[in-house]
Structure 1
Amino acid sequence: MHFTSEQRLDGGVLERAFSFGDIPGILWTPAPAPAPTPTPLILIGHPPLGLRRMYPRLAGRARHYAAEYGFASATIELPGSGERPRWAAAEQARADLRRAMEAGEPVGDEIVDALILPLVDKAVPEWQAVLDALLALPGIGGPVGYEGGVISIGVRLARVEPRIVAAGLFAGSLVPAAMYEEARRVTVPLHVLLQWDDEGNDRQAALDLFDAFGSTEKTLHANLGGHTGVPQFELDTGARFFARHLNRTAHRR
């Protein structure tokens, strides 16, 4: 892991851009505590529109976690997105998806599988390798949570990565059928956020996926409004979920 820049944000939060091979990412860490202890870490799921375009939202969440709860946060660029090399198969799958949606046709399973499954297969091992590097840094000791991003990546990561102890997922409907079986094997505590009137989301598919999760602790927060209408208070609701599971003594600073 190679750090390429750093800046100090409001509240003493340190933001450092990094590269891990050809993967760009950002790490946010809280101001040092008077009595340093290992810092819990939240992996903020890949921004589908790229790190640059999604930076304000990502940084806002990371600053909140650091300033209010003392958590570190990190995110990385999705394969084939942002500044990463183009991925021909993913570009073709996106084009097929756009054509179906513009024509008002149903998005078939073959399109969803071609778009999502290779992405999951590539992205999850990358996250695990980056997590190895992050946990080797001074002061970051876990435990680890995961939030946001492409929900199928979150499902796979929560299933296969034992260092993740809790996950906050954003409901989305482009979920391959195979992921429902994987969801049944997810057992970590879950906090799932659903926009009830999301114009790009099949509500019933999101509810079916939530029902499939095998976790004994899982909570669904559904709010009225479209994709971009998530209430501001949900940021702190999600943070308190992580506070319960990443550090049971965590409290607002």
Structure 2
Amino acid sequence: MHFTSEQRLDEGVHERRFTLGEIPGILWTPASASGPAPLILIGHPPLGLRTMYPRLAGRARYYASQYGFAAATIELPGSGDRPRWPAAEQARADLRRAMEAGEPVGDEIVAALVLPLVDRAVPEWQSALDALLTLPEIGGPVGYEGGVISIGVRLAVVEPRIAAAGFFAGSLVPAAVFEEARQVTIPLHVLLQWDDERNDRQASLDLFDAFGSQEKTLHANLGGHTGVPQFELETGARFFARHLR
């Protein structure tokens, strides 16, 4: 891990950009922490860190200033300035074509779009976690939130250092990942937009039902894909406070 820049944000939050090999990332830490801080890994859709920065930084600054958590994110494979791969571009085109035509999005398209991303992204998140946990200001335990739900599901199954996860409900989940969801046992906090124009409500509910966790909470709010109420940030932060302290 090589830090490339740093700045002090409002509320005394320290932001540092880093690279891990070819992977860019950002780390936010509370300036006033009295000891190693718990860590939240913040996922995001494959739109690039530059595009997602305001949303990611807003969440990270809240966690750091209000709860004393560190937070970090990394660029996804094939996103931002990272190299594209033709198979993913073709899968995205197939998805757009099906949705614009009002056709059902079959599992073959979903698998081609999501599984290669999951297979590449999860080991990178684990490598980032290895490096982040060597820093003296970060201790753990670790939470994961947001982003592509299939990445979160895989991480919750294979990464024992993640103690709790907050997901944004989605329906573009391959059958293989749906089966992996049954192996998830950590506490979960799931947000569902009831009128989400990008996801099938029943499929999202079926995935929630499939999770094997004994503690799992579903928060459903009226509104479309981008209409998650601001108060859910506080709700999610309290969830992580219960499990990362």
TM-score by structure 1 length? 0.95
| 8 Å Cα contact 2:44-2:52 kept in structure 1 | no
| 8 Å Cα contact 2:27-2:73 kept in structure 1 | yes
Letter in 1 for 2:13: V
| 8 Å Cα contact 1:79-1:87 kept in structure 2 | no
User: Is 1:144 the counterpart of 2:153 in the alignment?
Assistant: no
The one of 178, 194, 197 equivalent to 1:196 is 194
The one of 159, 167, 170 equivalent to 2:168 is 170
> Paired residue for 1:132?
130
Q: Structure 2: 5+ residue runs without aligned partners?
A: none
| SS of match in other structure, 1:167 | strand
Q: Deviations over 1:215-235 (max 9, x none)?
A: 000000000000111000000
Instruction: Give the whole-Å Cα distance in 1 for the aligned partners of 2:240 and 2:44.
Output: 18
> Paired residue for 1:7?
7
> Paired residue for 2:181?
183
> Paired residue for 1:98?
96
| 8 Å Cα contact 2:193-2:228 kept in structure 1 | yes
Query: What's the C-alpha RMSD, in Å, of the aligned pairs?
Result: 0.8
Say how many residue pairs are matched: 245
Runs of 4+, deviation exceeding 4 Å: none
Instruction: Give the whole-Å Cα distance in 1 for the aligned partners of 2:44 and 2:154.
Output: 14
Tell me the CA shift for residue 181 of structure 1.
1.2
> Paired residue for 1:250?
none
The one of 54, 60, 67 equivalent to 1:69 is 67
| 8 Å Cα contact 1:124-1:156 kept in structure 2 | yes
> Paired residue for 1:232?
230
Q: Deviations over 1:48-81 (max 9, x none)?
A: 2111111110000000000000000000111101
> Paired residue for 1:28?
28
Instruction: Give the whole-Å Cα distance in 1 for the aligned partners of 2:45 and 2:212.
Output: 26
Q: Structure 1: 5+ residue runs without aligned partners?
A: 248-253
TM-score by structure 2 length? 0.98
> Paired residue for 1:18?
18
